[in-house]
Each structure stands twice: as structure tokens, then as C-alpha cells.
Amino acid sequence: DAGVIQSPRHEVTEMGQEVTLRCKPISGHDYLFWYRQTMMRGLELLIYFNNNVPIDDSGMPEDRFSAKMPNASFSTLKIQPSEPRDSAVYFCASSLAFEAQPQHFGDGTRLSIL
């Protein structure tokens, strides 16, 4: 079975540009999560969706960040405008609803803002 698929794997862009990260969760999963990982701050939960509905976006750092999930098989995380401090690895993960089920992570998007 295909796992969580993220694109692009790497993104390098100049500050001020719009960045769009994409995620395809595992089919049938009810939850989708967006995380950010940096050396300084570790792994941070940005937002998560349940059945395509955003449930908790308290981890989204600023209004420059937005996330959507238009259907069960696709989600985007946008940064507009981007800043150098947004440089990080962004992970998408999905899971079934039950507490004992693990989250399945994609391989991440390594984002560098120059």
C-alpha cells in the first residue's frame, strides 16, 4: 500500500514568495496532521483535520500560514509571504481514528527560504 505522499521533497525559494506544500494521506484515514521540525524547536504540530475539517490550528505560527483539505485525499499547507525563519522540514501524517492506531508520516518537505 502507498504511504503518505508529500510533494515536493525539497523546495528552495526566496523570501516573500508563496510556498505550497502538498500531501496525499493514506486512503481511508480519518485524521491528517501537519508538523514542522527544526533543530531549535523540535517537532511541532501545526494543525490537524478530522474528516477534512480543521479541528485545531493553534500551532499555526502566524496568519502567513494556512492549510486546507478540500477532500479526503489531498491537503495543502501554504506560506504567504515566506520568510527565512520558515525554513524547516514539514511533515504530513495521517491516521485512523482509534487512539491505539499510530500516525503514518510522509518523508517530509525540506523547505529553505533564502
Partner 1 sequence: GNSVTQMEGPVTLSEEAFLTINCTYTATGYPSLFWYVQYPGEGLQLLLKATKADDKGSNKGFEATYRKETTSFHLEKGSVQVSDSAVYFCALVYGGSQGNLIFGKGTKLSVKP
Cα-based distances in Å from 3 to 34, 61, 72, 94, 111: 15, 27, 14, 9, 21
Per CB under 8 A, the list member of 28, 42, 53, 71 interacting with partner 1 is 42
Per CB under 8 A, the list member of 7, 17, 51, 101 interacting with partner 1 is 101
Q: Which stretch binds partner 1 (CB under 8 A): 15-23, 61-69, 71-79, 92-100?
A: 92-100
Q: Pattern 45-64, binding to partner 1, x per CB under 8 A? A: x--x-x----xx--------
Reading phi first (left if > 0) and then psi (alpha if -120 to 50, else beta), residue 57 is in alpha
Strand partners of residue 89: 37, 110
Residue 82 binds to partner 1 (criterion: CB under 8 A): no
